[in-house]
Amino acid sequence: MTDIDTIADRLNAIGNPTRLRIFRFLVRAGDNGVPVGRIQEELGIPGSTLSHHLKLLDSVDLVRRERKGTSLIYRAQFDGMRALVGSLVDECCADMPANSNVAQARRQSD
């Protein structure tokens, strides 16, 4: 997950307003997850569109699906998200006081 293309793929997955809304909704719903139908009602997204976005989120491991009867339950994949944020913070992008030792060290280790 340290791989830059993987990071970009995940960022891209939640870098779309519709998908970010979906993902946030799932995060807030917690570990119980939410069936597609309820996401659909709650966010007002047509089934086929929703399915398309969920598939993409699933493909980058930001959500997980599990069947329960006729319903499919989607849940946020917290580990995937934490890994992503972790990558941003320490491999790449944030919490790096510009020109800090960290930044300097990194410049040399490249």
Residue type, 67: R
Comparison of 16 and 88: residue with beta carbon closer to DNA: 16
Closer to a second copy by CB, 70 or 110: give it: 110
- Residue appearing with tokens 């960290």: 102
| Residue 43 interacting with DNA (CB under 7 A) | no
54 interacts with, out of a second copy, DNA, none, CB within 5 to 8 A per kind: DNA
Q: Does 6 interact with DNA (rule: CB under 7 A)?
A: no
Residue among 45 and 83 whose Cβ is closer to DNA: 45
Binding residue (CB under 7 A) for DNA from 2, 55, 96, 102: 55
Binding segment for DNA (CB under 7 A), chosen from 65-73, 75-83, 85-93, 98-106, is: 65-73
Whether 63 contacts 23, CB under 8 Å: yes
Nearest alpha-carbon partner for 5 in 42, 58, 60, 54: 60
Spatial distance between the Cα atoms of 18 and 54, rounded to a whole number of angstroms: 10
| Shortest Cβ 95–a second copy spacing (Å) | 7
Place of tokens 């139908």: 37
Q: How far apart are CA 21 and CA 109, in angstroms?
A: 38
Contact between 65 and DNA per CB under 7 A: yes
